[in-house]
Amino acid sequence: MFSIKSKINLAYTLVFGVLIISFSFVIYKNVEQILLNEIDANLKSFFVILDNEIEDALIESKGDFEILYELKNQKPQGLEKAGFQLYSPQKQKIIPDSILQNLTEIVSLEEKLVNGEPNNLFQIIEIDGEKFRVLWILLELHADYENFIEDEENDIFYTLQLYASMENIDSKLNKLIWIFSLAIPLGLLFTAFLSFFLSKAAFKPILQMAETAENISAQSLDLRLELPEAKDEIRNLAETLNKMIARIDDTFKSQKQFIANASHEFRTPLTIIQAELELAEKQTENEDLKESLKIALSEIDNLTNLTISLLTLTKLDAFQLKLHKKQIRLDELLIDVYQSFKALAESKNINLNLEISEAVEILADQEKLKQVLFNLLNNALKYSSENGEISLSLNKISEQKIEVIVSDNGLGILEEELPFVFKRFFRSKETRSNIQGSGLGLAIVKELVELHDGEILVESKIGKGTKVIVSLPIT
């Protein structure tokens, strides 16, 4: 699809093309008419010279037309390759011409001249590939000549045919066409370049606004669009968008502050409730009550984890979560995490495997990486069925990079849902109804991994399981 800028450039070029072609056509027709008027005027001037001489010669000839041949030596001024023919009232050539000798239109043209107005007719004819401008004129002789020739008719008309070559006109018109054929493409090319640079300059503020808007996210709502100097519609648009971004920023800040305050306020009551429920569980002898207390403690544990996750995300959004990096043995961290989850995996009849290729020491925040591993293993256990298998492995890819892989053969994730697994509060439609969760775990994992300059990738097939690959730099 064409961009708006390309469409404007194309529209400008097409409109200018239509205008310049129309203008060229009008110029061509005007020049052609001027040249034709010029040659017509010269032919008429030639006729004025011949008119009296032919009439006098006819009177003197007394029927001997050979005397008229002397008039053939008359040469018109301002005309190239020009001449004339004279026809008698009986349509016979009195003064023939070698160029027009084969012309056979004398009868029909004379009828037009006699019956119509004015008493002359211009015509363009082509003889042997060459164009000629021809002027047909009827000569009406005076009465004394009528009596001399003993003709009973009242009017006697001789037909005079004057001509001139149009070679000079065609040459000038061809030159004009050549000029247009060169000027029109150059004009269109110039218009295309001019419209390109003008539209580029006009769209520059919009492109800058789009670039800035592309960089604005929940973490950078303090950015604002640069206002163009000109006080035009684009500036009004930028000001409106800046006001909208400011409102969104205020809303996000209020929301984050509310989540932070609420999560913080929830922690103390949840801790007290958990302690009271644990005490009640120890003191009661009623098995049904103990079971109810266990369910309540489980839900309290879920609420506590959700509160901790929300507080973590709030700190990440506010860039308040600082890493305390130091040299740690990643292989030992994996062993500790494995030991923490081994009993839980066995209680669910799930086989948890640990694979470490070699001891690896990296520069990282141990607690944050431990949180990453806890979240990944917790997800693997949550979405694995009984008699399932989970693998936790550590591989050294190069001297600069290691990979931690958590894989399971559980439910898996739909292919169309994979691009959204790191979005906050996202949960698969296959599991959201029967498996508890907040949809924040992988979002936190991704942010913590990226804080360590690492990358995270999820591979999954529905019904076959999921593999999460965490890549971290060694130093």
Per-residue pLDDT tens digits for 410-453: 888 888 888 888 887 777 766 655 666 667 778 888 888 988 89
* Side chain identity, residue 85: Q
What's the pLDDT band for 318 if we cut at 50, 70, 90? low
| Cα–Cα distances in angstroms (integers) from residue 328 to residues 115, 354, 474, in the given order | 117, 19, 10
Q: Give Cα 69 to chain centroid, integer Å.
A: 77
Q: 233-317 has which fold?
A: Helix Hairpins (1.10.287)
Q: Which residues of 154-164 are buried (b: 16+ CB within 10 A; e: fewer)?
A: eebbbbbbbbb
Q: Give Cα 432 to chain centroid, integer Å.
A: 41
What's the pLDDT band for 34 if we cut at 50, 70, 90? very high
Q: 4-173 has which fold?
A: Beta-Lactamase (3.30.450)
**CB half-sphere exposure, 137, CA atoms < 13 A:** 19
- Which comes out higher in pLDDT, residue 288 or 174? 174
Mean pLDDT for the stretch of residues 387-396? 90
What's the pLDDT band for 122 if we cut at 50, 70, 90? confident
Reported as a single tens digit per residue, the pLDDT across 3-24 is 777 777 788 788 888 888 899 9
Ramachandran angles phi, psi of 467, nearest 5° = -125, 125
Contact at 8 Å (CB) between 391 and 454?
Answer: no
What is the token pair recorded at 127?
């003889």
Q: In degrees, to the nearest 5, what angle opens at C-alpha 303 toward C-alphas 301 and 306? A: 110
Report the percent of the chain where pLDDT is more than 90. 13
* Side chain identity, residue 144: D
- How confident is the model at residue 267, as a pLDDT? 65
Mean pLDDT comparison of 97-106, 258-267, 344-353, highest-scoring range = 344-353
Reported as a single tens digit per residue, the pLDDT across 450-459 is 888 999 999 9
Residue 51 region by backbone torsions, left for phi larger than 0, else alpha for psi between -120 and 50, else beta: alpha
Reported as a single tens digit per residue, the pLDDT across 49-107 is 887 777 777 766 666 666 666 677 777 777 878 888 888 777 777 787 777 776 655 44
Mean pLDDT for the stretch of residues 291-313? 73
Contact at 8 Å (CB) between 423 and 438?
Answer: no
- Which comes out higher in pLDDT, residue 123 or 31? 31
Mean pLDDT value across the chain: 79
- How confident is the model at residue 109, as a pLDDT? 54
Torsion angle, CA of 177/178/182/188, rounded to 10 degrees? Answer: 10
Please state the pTM of the whole predicted model.
0.49
Placement of tokens 């892989």 in the chain = 405
The 3-state DSSP class for residue 389 equals strand
For 347, the enclosing helix (H) or strand (E) is helix 330-347
Contact at 8 Å (CB) between 180 and 28?
Answer: yes
Write out the DSSP string of 410-470.
Answer: SS---GGGGGGTTSTT---TTTTTTS---S-HHHHHHHHHHHTT-EEEEEEETTTEEEEEE
Q: In terms of residues, how long is the chain?
A: 475
**How far apart are alpha carbons 315 and 333 in whole angstroms?**
24
Ramachandran angles phi, psi of 149, nearest 5° = -90, 5
Mean pLDDT for the stretch of residues 198-211? 77
- How confident is the model at residue 146, as a pLDDT? 43
- How confident is the model at residue 234, as a pLDDT? 76
CATH architecture label of 326-473: 2-Layer Sandwich (3.30)
What's the pLDDT band for 382 if we cut at 50, 70, 90? confident
Domain boundaries, the chain: 4-173, 233-317, 326-473
- How confident is the model at residue 202, as a pLDDT? 75
Q: 10 Å Cβ neighbour count for 268? A: 9
Mean pLDDT for the stretch of residues 141-169? 65
pLDDT for 116 beyond 80? no
What's the pLDDT band for 159 if we cut at 50, 70, 90? confident
- Which comes out higher in pLDDT, residue 471 or 227? 471
Placement of tokens 């809303």 in the chain = 251
Ramachandran angles phi, psi of 146, nearest 5° = -65, -45
- How confident is the model at residue 16, as a pLDDT? 85
**How far apart are alpha carbons 135 and 439 in whole angstroms?**
97
Q: Give Cα 84 to chain centroid, integer Å.
A: 66
pLDDT for 405 beyond 90? yes
What is the token pair recorded at 102?
């084969």
Report the percent of the chain where pLDDT is more than 70. 79
- How confident is the model at residue 315, as a pLDDT? 66
